[in-house]
Chains A and B, each alone.
Chain A
Amino acid sequence: MGLGSPRAGIARYPLVAVNVAFNPPSGESVTCVEPWSRTQKLSRLNQQQTERFKEQITPESATKVQASPPDHQRDAVLHDNEVEEDVAVEMPPPMEEIKTHTLPPSQPTSEEDRDSSHPSEDGASGDVDRELPSTASDAVASTDGAVETSAEPPKEEQQAPQSEQSEEESFVINELIETERDYVRDLGLVVEGYMQTIQSGKKPIPEDMQGKDRIVFGNIHQIFDWHRETFSKEVEKCADDPERVGGLFIKFENKLHMYVRYCENKPKSEYIVAEYIDYFEELRKELGHKLQLPDLLIKPVQRIMKYQLLLKVCLFLRMVVFIEMHEDKYCKYVCIHALPPPPITHTHTHTHIYTHTHNGYDCLLFPKQDILKYTDRMGDDTKILQKAVQVMCVVPKAANDMMIVGRLQGFEGKITAQGKLLLQDTLMVQEHNPKAAKGDQQKFKERRVFLFEQIIIFSEEIEKKNNLSNPGYIYKNSLMVNKMELDDKSSTDPLIFALIDKTPRSNLHLICQAPSDQVKQNWVSQIRAILEMQKDFLAVRLSLSSSKAFNRIVLFFTSYSQWSSPELGSTHRSSLLRKTHSHPQSDKMAMVSPPCDPGFRLSDPQKYTRCKSVPTPLPKVDVDPSNKTKKNAIALMLSSALLPTKVGELPPGGNPKTSQKNTTSSSPKPKRNFLEGVKNTLRPRKSPDNSSTSSSHGIIRASPAPKDSDLVQIAAETELTKNADTYAMILSSGDRAGNSGLNSLLEMASVQPDDTPTDDTS
């Protein structure tokens, strides 16, 4: 089966001669050096792996190994003939350029390197640089002609593979190392060029710009220092030891969150740079830089989004190797959807890997039992890599969400406590009052609508004042998801759907009109999904004994999250446990530096037992200590979340046990987010007078609610520290992966085998 699809994939492309349509200017001859494509490399890899593990391979895969000519040859030789493709083509001999390629060479022109590696010479190098032909220094890979074309890394393969490590992977690692050098150099141009010049007063800034220069550069200095002094050194070490890569990103997760702040500041910076572009241009010329300041300032934004791409490729390559060595049947559950566009071509060479998109989310639909088997068999390093990918998706996602949320003004609740932002769009919205006469109804107004996991927010877009301002939104209205009903049937207009506030005494109907059918479908399906989720959640709450309901939810969530397998998601979460639960006070750091556990360990033997052995901290819940299954544990979690009112009675100090642990810096943010989420979901049932009577307008404001940290303290107060542990674990895990807390609850439930020993509580 392994063979069918790759061929099909390739044959999809009509075989057309390339290099016809476009004549590059200035007479340079651009030769299209086609790589020994990945196919071939992977084939080699396969061979290598096969030998190494002495695994039996099927005749089919054996054929495949030989049947991977480079694409241009394929084009030249074959005529859309699959049989020929398999047989006719010989492998071209490996070419010699390889080494320049695979080893990290200083590809960019030497002048550039000189410029960057000796920043102290900055003043002088400016002059040198200016004399260079312009093509030589236009950043990393400018191409004005043949010179640059040849400077492009040749894509040949090294001679026979020498190390056990996948060549593909070392290729990726080398790319990481090379681009890291370039990146540090570029940051240096800003920090040691612009910033130093400005600070030294060599080129006085315009008077009205005084004080604004800090906004221009944001925290780029910090980023630069950290990269230069720490991160790039660590990255360089990966050349010899590629296994380190994953751990690196996990270790420095909270450092990487510097980028969130950078992105947040970037729009303001852009504004000022644009305003004083003449000054910065003069400065650029004095410094002899080829790139303008905006080109340099965008680099951190570009960079932070690249790490995940590289890590995903690494991970993917490992999985491919693993899969190819093992039974085919696992393969189809491995999903590469998360990969960037280029590697998707792997689908052609590795047929049995499918991508799947669900509601616009990259997600995997793993049958649980299979992914268990599968990940169990992969090495620890792979698991670390999985975690690293997750971390590096969280960081840009956090930046992204900050950008959006930062634009919303006037919302008095905690926007960060409303779960993930699922959808946003501009819709026409009418606040419909069913009792009012037709003529009295309000008109449809244009609203920017944000759907979070816990709330849907309607806002009005601020008229843009000028082109460089960010879009801004003013809060107008909101509906809690758990008090919301969807009606997409009753209107005759196919583009309309209604959201009804189910809060008692509220008559609010929000009629939304989507600009297109597709947009409407998107909204309806998303809203339906979260409403379903609510329903299932309540169902679980009501009948935890029914394992059937549980399975359903677990499946649902599995399809919803990004790396949805419980294994992928939960490995790291447990490690957060000890830290998170013990830090109710350090709120302020939350946004900037979410928790990170440098001492992250993959296998926490106590992971499950801690979770399941939760006697209740609360009188309401009836626990049979002899039956401490995971479901009980969760039931307890939920019920404890239901009793926020207890907070007031708590002494401020908290449990001495927990405060002793307050040594590392981490933030309680995740707990808070999740907890508020749970409270939002559940409060009306248990404490109806708290908020349920409020109108949709007032819901948020009417729920001041105790802090989650206090709740953790409640748990701690009971002197059952294990409770607190479990609590914190769940809380932290929820926000962690960007999923709802519920998700992680259920994931944990699903992970836990029922037969895990339960004797850890006494």
Chain B
Amino acid sequence: MAVIEIKLCLLGDSGVGKSSIVHRFVYDSFRPYMENTIGAAFLTKTMIVEGRTYKFQIWDTAGQEKYRALAPMYYRGAAAAIIVYDITRESSFHAVKLWLAELKRHASPNIVLAIAGNKNDLEDLREVSYQEAQDCAKSHGAIMIETSAKSAINVASLFVEIGRRLSNLDMTMSLPSSNSNALNVNQRTGQDVKGRRKCCGF
């Protein structure tokens, strides 16, 4: 069975719950008091959806929020990006739009974008409506999902959806005619499918 390796990075304001989402996804737990400041540089998680094995390699971007000019180093090498905002903080949603604009300009055209409205367990404090986010995502062709790292709502489905989209893309992309403009992340993903299998015994 092929392993589809997906490198992805999380973007978004600080405090929106990027690390929590990753932590929920990878360890399936929520730590209200995060113990590790640094944590791991790369977290990986393998999951099987519809017979396909996805291996997510998540780039830790903690601490970089303020240094936006450095972000391209992360997202340029990524096959997918999750832009996280906090549904209880309007300003964090504003940042999503900025990120979308930036990614549209400077990331690979094939990058799979996902917008995650985190903390949707705090419905009473909501400042960003679901519809607004949905519209924004639609206009950029991004996945949009509201999550709660705390309550484990939709976190897995967020990644499943990304995997699904990427593998679709991968199928269309793997044709030899794939345009030369495409960032080779996806090509690389294709290689990994074969390469990894051979050498790592998945």
Chain A residues with a Cβ under 8 A of chain B:
10, 12-14, 16, 18-26, 30, 32-35, 37-39, 71, 130, 133-134, 138-144, 149, 152-153, 155, 171-172, 175-176, 179, 182-183, 186, 263, 266-267, 270, 274, 277, 281, 285, 290-291, 294-295, 298-299, 301-302, 305-306, 308-310, 313, 340-345, 362, 396-397, 399-401, 403-404, 426, 464, 466-468, 470-471, 516, 518
Chain A residues whose C-beta falls within 8 Å of the C-beta of B38 in the assembled complex: 175-176, 179, 306, 309-310
Q: Are A143 and B45 in touch, CB under 8 angstroms?
A: yes
Q: Are A518 and B94 in touch, CB under 8 angstroms?
A: yes
Chain A residues whose C-beta falls within 8 Å of the C-beta of B45 in the assembled complex: 143-144
- Contacts A310-B37, A400-B69, A401-B69 hold; do A341 and B14 have CB atoms under 8 A apart? yes
* 8 Å CB interface, B49-86 against A: 57, 59-64, 66-70, 72-74, 76-77
- Would you list 13 pairs from A and B whose C-beta atoms are within 8 A, ordered by A residue? A13-B122, A16-B150, A18-B150, A38-B33, A155-B35, A267-B73, A285-B199, A341-B16, A342-B19, A400-B70, A426-B101, A467-B109, A471-B105
Q: Which 5 A-B pairs have the closest CB atoms?
A: A342-B34, A141-B40, A403-B69, A38-B33, A305-B63
Q: Are B152 and A144 in touch, CB under 8 angstroms?
A: no
Q: Out of A37, A298, A308, A518, which one reaches B59, CB within 8 Å? A: A298
Chain A residues whose C-beta falls within 8 Å of the C-beta of B36 in the assembled complex: 153, 175, 342
Is residue B143 contacting chain A, with contact meaning CB distance below 8 A?
A: no
Q: Out of A130, A175, A182, A342, which one reaches B199, CB within 8 Å? A: A130
Q: Are A467 and B183 in touch, CB under 8 angstroms?
A: yes
Chain B residues whose C-beta falls within 8 Å of the C-beta of A291 in the assembled complex: 42
Q: Are B155 and A141 in touch, CB under 8 angstroms?
A: no
Q: Are A71 and B76 in touch, CB under 8 angstroms?
A: no
Contact with A along B118-132 (1 / 0, CB 8 A): 000110010000000
Q: Are A404 and B33 in touch, CB under 8 angstroms?
A: no
Q: Are A309 and B66 in touch, CB under 8 angstroms?
A: no
Nearest A residue to B198, CB-CB:
A285
- Contacts A39-B33, A400-B70 hold; do A18 and B195 have CB atoms under 8 A apart? no
Is residue B47 contacting chain A, with contact meaning CB distance below 8 A?
A: yes
Q: Out of A140, A266, A464, which one reaches B73, CB within 8 Å? A: A266
Chain A residues whose C-beta falls within 8 Å of the C-beta of B182 in the assembled complex: 467
A187 to chain B, nearest CB (A): 12
Is residue B165 contacting chain A, with contact meaning CB distance below 8 A?
A: no
Give the docked Cα–Cα distance between A604 and B15 (Å): 38
Chain B residues whose C-beta falls within 8 Å of the C-beta of A22 in the assembled complex: 24-25, 28, 152, 155-156
Q: Are B47 and A153 in touch, CB under 8 angstroms?
A: no
- Contacts A25-B47, A309-B37 hold; do A467 and B31 have CB atoms under 8 A apart? no
Chain B residues whose C-beta falls within 8 Å of the C-beta of A470 in the assembled complex: 72, 106
Q: Out of B17, B155, B200, which one reaches A341, CB within 8 Å? A: B17
Is residue B140 contacting chain A, with contact meaning CB distance below 8 A?
A: no
Chain B residues whose C-beta falls within 8 Å of the C-beta of A24 in the assembled complex: 28, 47
* Residue of B61, B67, B154 with highest tally of chain A CB at under 10 A: B67
Chain A residues whose C-beta falls within 8 Å of the C-beta of B191 in the assembled complex: 281
Q: Are A144 and B63 in touch, CB under 8 angstroms?
A: no
Give the docked Cα–Cα distance between A158 and B111 (Å): 45
Q: Are A30 and B152 in touch, CB under 8 angstroms?
A: no
- Contacts A21-B156, A313-B37, A340-B63 hold; do A471 and B122 have CB atoms under 8 A apart? no
Chain B residues whose C-beta falls within 8 Å of the C-beta of A294 in the assembled complex: 77
Chain B residues whose C-beta falls within 8 Å of the C-beta of A33 in the assembled complex: 29
Is residue B44 contacting chain A, with contact meaning CB distance below 8 A?
A: yes
Contact with A along B82-108 (1 / 0, CB 8 A): 000000000000100100010001111
Q: Out of A21, A32, A182, A468, which one reaches B154, CB within 8 Å? A: A21
Chain A residues whose C-beta falls within 8 Å of the C-beta of B77 in the assembled complex: 270, 294, 298
- Contacts A130-B199, A270-B76 hold; do A34 and B31 have CB atoms under 8 A apart? yes
Chain A residues whose C-beta falls within 8 Å of the C-beta of B72 in the assembled complex: 267, 470
Give the docked Cα–Cα distance between A401 and B32 (Å): 33
Give the docked Cα–Cα distance between A342 and B31 (Å): 9
Q: Out of A19, A175, A400, which one reaches B28, CB within 8 Å? A: A19
* 8 Å CB interface, B1-51 against A: 14-19, 24-48
Is residue B201 contacting chain A, with contact meaning CB distance below 8 A?
A: yes
Q: Are A138 and B201 in touch, CB under 8 angstroms?
A: no
Is residue B168 contacting chain A, with contact meaning CB distance below 8 A?
A: no
Contact with A along B171-202 (1 / 0, CB 8 A): 00000000001111000100100011001111
A683 to chain B, nearest CB (A): 30
Chain A residues whose C-beta falls within 8 Å of the C-beta of B184 in the assembled complex: 274, 277
Q: Are A305 and B64 in touch, CB under 8 angstroms?
A: yes
B65 to chain A, nearest CB (A): 8
- Contacts A142-B43, A305-B64 hold; do A345 and B48 have CB atoms under 8 A apart? no
Q: Out of B37, B61, B94, B151, which one reaches A175, CB within 8 Å? A: B37
Q: Are B67 and A305 in touch, CB under 8 angstroms?
A: yes
A167 to chain B, nearest CB (A): 12
Give the docked Cα–Cα distance between A35 and B30 (Å): 10
Chain B residues whose C-beta falls within 8 Å of the C-beta of A399 in the assembled complex: 67, 70
- Contacts A20-B152, A309-B63, A467-B183 hold; do A343 and B34 have CB atoms under 8 A apart? yes
Chain B residues whose C-beta falls within 8 Å of the C-beta of A19 in the assembled complex: 28-29, 152
- Contacts A33-B29, A345-B32 hold; do A301 and B14 have CB atoms under 8 A apart? no
Give the docked Cα–Cα distance between A182 and B200 (Å): 22
Give the docked Cα–Cα distance between A170 and B27 (Å): 24
- Contacts A25-B47, A281-B195 hold; do A403 and B181 have CB atoms under 8 A apart? no
Q: Are B42 and A467 in touch, CB under 8 angstroms?
A: no
Q: Are A149 and B27 in touch, CB under 8 angstroms?
A: yes
* Residue of A172, A274, A291, A516 with highest tally of chain B CB at under 10 A: A274
Q: Are B37 and A342 in touch, CB under 8 angstroms?
A: yes
Q: Are B46 and A467 in touch, CB under 8 angstroms?
A: no
Q: Are B152 and A471 in touch, CB under 8 angstroms?
A: no
B57 to chain A, nearest CB (A): 8
Q: Out of B14, B28, B57, B74, which one reaches A32, CB within 8 Å? A: B28
Nearest B residue to A396, CB-CB:
B67
* Residue of B38, B41, B97, B121 with highest tally of chain A CB at under 10 A: B38
* Residue of B33, B76, B152 with highest tally of chain A CB at under 10 A: B33
Chain B residues whose C-beta falls within 8 Å of the C-beta of A171 in the assembled complex: 35
Chain A residues whose C-beta falls within 8 Å of the C-beta of B28 in the assembled complex: 19, 22, 24, 30, 32
Q: Are A21 and B152 in touch, CB under 8 angstroms?
A: yes
- Contacts A16-B121, A468-B76 hold; do A340 and B32 have CB atoms under 8 A apart? no
Q: Are A301 and B34 in touch, CB under 8 angstroms?
A: no
B168 to chain A, nearest CB (A): 20
Give the docked Cα–Cα distance between A461 and B90 (Å): 29
Q: Are B42 and A138 in touch, CB under 8 angstroms?
A: yes
B117 to chain A, nearest CB (A): 16
Give the docked Cα–Cα distance between A400 and B27 (Å): 32
Q: Out of A141, A285, A306, A467, which one reaches B108, CB within 8 Å? A: A467
Chain A residues whose C-beta falls within 8 Å of the C-beta of B200 in the assembled complex: 134, 290
Nearest A residue to B46, CB-CB:
A144
Q: Are B67 and A468 in touch, CB under 8 angstroms?
A: no
- Contacts A298-B77, A305-B63, A464-B105 hold; do A140 and B40 have CB atoms under 8 A apart? yes
Give the docked Cα–Cα distance between A130 and B60 (Å): 25
Give the docked Cα–Cα distance between A34 and B30 (Å): 8
Give the docked Cα–Cα distance between A313 and B70 (Å): 23
Give the docked Cα–Cα distance between A312 and B63 (Å): 11
Give the docked Cα–Cα distance between A21 and B121 (Å): 14
A469 to chain B, nearest CB (A): 9
Nearest A residue to B187, CB-CB:
A277
Chain B residues whose C-beta falls within 8 Å of the C-beta of A26 in the assembled complex: 46, 48
- Contacts A301-B70, A342-B19, A467-B181 hold; do A143 and B199 have CB atoms under 8 A apart? no
Chain B residues whose C-beta falls within 8 Å of the C-beta of A301 in the assembled complex: 70, 73
Chain B residues whose C-beta falls within 8 Å of the C-beta of A175 in the assembled complex: 36-38
Q: Are B14 and A400 in touch, CB under 8 angstroms?
A: no
Q: Are B74 and A298 in touch, CB under 8 angstroms?
A: yes
Give the docked Cα–Cα distance between A217 and B150 (Å): 40
Q: Are B15 and A344 in touch, CB under 8 angstroms?
A: yes
Q: Out of A21, A139, A267, which one reaches B153, CB within 8 Å? A: A21
Chain A residues whose C-beta falls within 8 Å of the C-beta of B74 in the assembled complex: 298
A510 to chain B, nearest CB (A): 22
